[in-house]
Amino acid sequence: MASNALVEVTDANFDSDVLKSDKPVLLDFWAAWCGPCRAIAPIVEELAGEYQGRVTVGKMDVDRNGATPMRYKVTGIPTLLVFKGGQVVEQLVGYRSKDDIQKALDRHVGTSTSQPSVVAENVKTRV
CA dihedral in degrees (115, 90, 88, 49; nearest 10)?
-70
DSSP for 31-80, please give it: -TT-HHHHHHHHHHHHHHHHTTTT-EEEEEETTT--HHHHHTT--SSSEE
Catalogue the active-site residues: 34, 37
Instruction: Name 82's bridge partners.
Output: 26, 90
Amino acid at the residue 32: A
